[in-house]
């Protein structure tokens, strides 16, 4: 197997309402932190993931703008767009670039500034990543679609909504120890059930909030890894798969096929079994999507994911630690940045820098980021450099 690219620097902003910072300010802040963490190397390229800066910030062509702001004139500047999967796809492209030998060191950054527009506009823009013919024009929202899935799941598998939202409770428990999280405090089932109904049965506190943030990593070719970092992290696999975009055209509404395909390919490429993975960062726009992700990856059988959560098996210290720094619900979900927040958090775990949330002896981690309800999924398998060497 060809030696994998390495992550040698990470950085991110806190996820929050950054009223005083622009989309560019956020990206610059995350990139400068990542570059500093990597010892300020020369980079040959920037891959920038962002979902909707033209629509929400009246600013396009972000990759070139970011390169300009970082005084990196002349480098490759590539923008990657795939809704809320944009961040992981930027990392994927960056990884491919280094793997191909085209670049020696690259920056991958994900950024989203969502608070420049009203909530209703965020909802509208979010639906533009779905099939306009079957979905956007129907007027349904992502929480609305999640409500359909939740109801079907409850009916088919006999789970209660109170069981399902334990996924969000797990997120918040972990976010409480993440200084970069948007909601760094625990919540319980009662608090979620007491929050406003968004789309029956989905409650407000079961949905990922609206927030601003940016995260970035510096990648380098394997030969430079040890020179640039004391604790490089290997990208063992970076795989992308798409599936039927409209829920109405899927064979099974409760299956995220793009995730299955991307995860299978990634684990095979990484030559890692599911049991070898020490922690998982999954894409939970609402609790139901987190539970379906557990089932899709094979952590639990069909209809059994909620039991895994209820039995506490996704907590840190249990068999399958999930969303160890808070996930989309606790850390926050600034669309195009989420995939890179997952990568940054995975690097913290693999370096042993996750503080109170450290997964003991973490050597291999898996991250899953997707667009909407799984039109595109991107899975990364990351590992301590020692695992490769």
Partner 1 sequence: MRPLRPVGIVGYGAYVPIYRIKASEIGRLWGHDGCALPIVEKAVAGPDEDMTTIAFEAARYALMRARVNPDEIGAIFIGSESKPYAVKPSGTIVAEALGIGSHLLAADYEFACKAGTEAFQTCIGLVGSGMAKYAMAIGADTAQGRPADDLEYTAASGGAAFVFGLKSKETVAYVEGSCSYATDTADFWRRAGQPYPRHFGRFTGEPAYFRHVITAAKKLMEELGLGPEDFDWAVFHQPNTKFPLKAAKMLGIDRKKLEPGLLVPYIGNTYSGSSPLGLAATLDVAEPGDRILMVSYGSGAGSDAFSFVVQDAIEEKRGLAPPVRAFLERKKYLDYASYARFRGKLLR
Q: Which residues bind partner 1 (CB under 8 A)?
A: 17, 19-20, 115, 118-119, 194-197
CB of residue 173 to partner 1, shortest distance in Å: 23
SS (H, E, C) 358-375: CCCCCCEEEEEEEECCCC
In the complex with partner 1, the residue whose CB is nearer, 17 or 264, is 17
In the complex with partner 1, the residue whose CB is nearer, 140 or 242, is 140
CB of residue 287 to partner 1, shortest distance in Å: 20
Instruction: Please name which of 294, 363, 360 lies closest in space to residue 323, comparing C-alpha atoms.
Output: 294
CB of residue 171 to partner 1, shortest distance in Å: 21
Q: Give the whole-angstrom CA distance, residue 388 versus residue 373.
A: 33
Residue 88 sits at the vertex; the CA angle it makes with 347 and 65, to the nearest 5 degrees, is: 100
In the complex with partner 1, the residue whose CB is nearer, 143 or 374, is 143
In the complex with partner 1, the residue whose CB is nearer, 18 or 260, is 18
Strand partners, 84: 82
CB of residue 197 to partner 1, shortest distance in Å: 7
CB of residue 202 to partner 1, shortest distance in Å: 14
Residue 167 sits at the vertex; the CA angle it makes with 87 and 111, to the nearest 5 degrees, is: 15
In the complex with partner 1, the residue whose CB is nearer, 17 or 276, is 17
- CA trace torsion 11, 231, 235, 97 (10° rounding): 70
Phi-psi region of 231 (alpha: psi -120 to 50; beta: other; left: phi over 0): beta
CB of residue 230 to partner 1, shortest distance in Å: 39
3-class SS at 8? strand
In the complex with partner 1, the residue whose CB is nearer, 208 or 354, is 208
Rg of the Cα trace of the chain?
Answer: 19
């Amino acid at each position: 197997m060809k030696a994998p690219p390495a992550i040698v620097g990470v950085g991110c902003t806190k996820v929050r309402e950054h009223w005083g910072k622009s989309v560019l300010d956020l990206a610059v802040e995350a990139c400068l932190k990542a570059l500093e963490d990597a010892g300020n190397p020369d980079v040959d390229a920037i891959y920038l993931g962002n979902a909707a800066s033209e629509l929400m910030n009246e600013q396009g062509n972000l990759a070139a703008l970011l390169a300009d702001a970082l005084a990196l004139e002349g480098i490759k500047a590539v923008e990657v767009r795939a809704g809320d999967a944009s961040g992981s796809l930027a990392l994927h492209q960056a990884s491919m670039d280094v793997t191909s030998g085209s670049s020696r060191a690259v920056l991958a950054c994900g950024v989203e500034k969502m608070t420049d527009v009203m909530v209703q506009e965020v909802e509208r823009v979010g639906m533009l990543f779905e099939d306009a013919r079957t979905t956007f024009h129907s007027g349904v929202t992502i929480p609305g679609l999640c409500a359909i899935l939740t109801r079907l799941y409850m009916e088919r598998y006999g789970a209660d909504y109170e069981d399902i939202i334990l996924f969000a409770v797990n997120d918040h428990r972990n976010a409480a120890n993440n200084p970069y999280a948007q909601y760094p405090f625990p919540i319980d089932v009662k608090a979620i059930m007491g929050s406003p109904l968004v789309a029956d049965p989905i409650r407000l506190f079961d949905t990922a909030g609206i927030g601003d943030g940016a995260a970035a990593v510096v990648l380098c070719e394997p030969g430079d890894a040890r020179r640039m970092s004391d604790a490089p992290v290997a990208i063992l696999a970076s795989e992308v798969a798409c599936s039927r975009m409209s829920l109405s055209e899927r064979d099974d509404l409760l299956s995220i096929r793009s995730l299955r395909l991307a995860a299978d390919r990634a684990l095979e490429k990484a030559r890692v079994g599911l049991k070898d993975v020490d922690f998982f960062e999954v894409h939970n726009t609402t609790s139901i999507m987190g539970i379906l992700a557990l089932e899709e990856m094979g952590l639990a059988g069909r209809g059994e994911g909620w039991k895994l959560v209820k039995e506490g098996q996704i907590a840190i210290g249990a068999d399958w630690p999930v969303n160890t720094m808070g996930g989309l619900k606790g850390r926050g979900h600034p669309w195009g940045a989420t995939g890179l927040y997952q990568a940054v958090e995975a690097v913290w775990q693999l370096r042993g820098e996750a503080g109170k949330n450290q997964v003991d002896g973490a050597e291999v981690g898996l991250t899953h980021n997707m667009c909407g309800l799984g039109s595109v999924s991107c899975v990364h398998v990351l590992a301590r450099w020692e695992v490769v060497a």
